[in-house]
C-alpha cells in the first residue's frame, strides 16, 4: 500500500519522475538526489514500510539480494574501489525519509564521504554483560 504523504512511495511507483536505474515487481532503485559519492543510489520497496521494524520478511530478503546484485553491477560500471550499504532506522539513527530504503554508496579512494563511527573501548566485563543481554537461545 502507498502512503499518501510519502515522497518515496511516489518515486517508487512512478507518480513522480526520477532517475531510475532498476525496477522489478517489488522495488525501484533510484539515484539519490544528494549523493554522498558518484552513483549513490537508493533501493526503495514499492510498498510502504516506515522502517526495518515494519518491513515484510520476504521483502527484506529480496532487498539484500538486490543490494548484492547492484553492488556487483554498479562497481563494474563505475570502477569504484569499495562499496557501503547503509540503512537508517529512526531519527536517532539518521533516518530522514520514513519509508524503508537502503543506500548503495560506491566508494572511491580518498573520497570525502563519511560512513564512520568513533570506535569504543569497552571493558571485557561490559561486552560479556551486553552479550548475555542480547543472546538468543
Q: Are strands 27-31 and 20-23 parallel, antiparallel or unpaired?
A: antiparallel
Catalog residues that contact ligand 5GP under the rule CB under 6 A: 7, 11, 18, 30-34, 88, 94-97
Catalytic residue check, 101:
yes
Cell for 25?
515487481
Comparing CA positions, the residue from 13, 49, 27 lying closest to residue 104 is 27
Looking at the chain, how many residues does it have? 137
Selected binder of Zn ion within 99, 101, 103, 107 (CB under 5 A): 99
- Asked whether position 44 contacts Zn ion by CB under 5 A, the answer is no
- Asked whether position 62 contacts Zn ion by CB under 5 A, the answer is no
Chain residues binding Zn ion by CB under 5 A are: 3, 6, 8-9, 48, 99
Active site residues: 101
Amino acid at each position: 500500500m502507498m502512503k499518501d504523504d510519502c515522497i518515496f512511495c511516489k518515486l517508487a511507483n512512478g507518480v513522480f519522475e526520477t532517475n531510475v536505474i532498476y525496477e522489478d515487481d517489488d522495488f525501484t532503485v533510484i539515484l539519490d538526489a544528494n549523493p554522498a559519492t558518484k552513483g549513490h543510489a537508493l533501493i526503495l520497496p514499492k510498498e510502504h514500510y516506515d522502517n526495518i521494524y515494519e518491513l515484510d520478511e520476504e521483502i527484506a530478503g529480496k532487498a539484500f539480494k538486490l543490494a548484492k546484485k547492484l553492488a556487483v553491477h554498479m562497481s563494474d560500471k563505475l570502477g569504484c574501489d569499495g562499496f557501503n550499504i547503509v540503512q537508517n532506522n529512526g531519527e536517532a539513527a539518521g533516518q530522514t525519509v520514513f519509508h524503508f530504503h537502503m543506500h548503495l554508496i560506491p566508494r572511491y579512494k580518498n573520497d570525502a564521504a563519511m560512513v564512520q563511527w568513533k570506535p569504543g573501548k569497552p571493558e571485557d566485563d561490559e561486552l560479556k554483560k551486553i552479550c548475555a543481554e542480547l543472546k538468543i537461545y
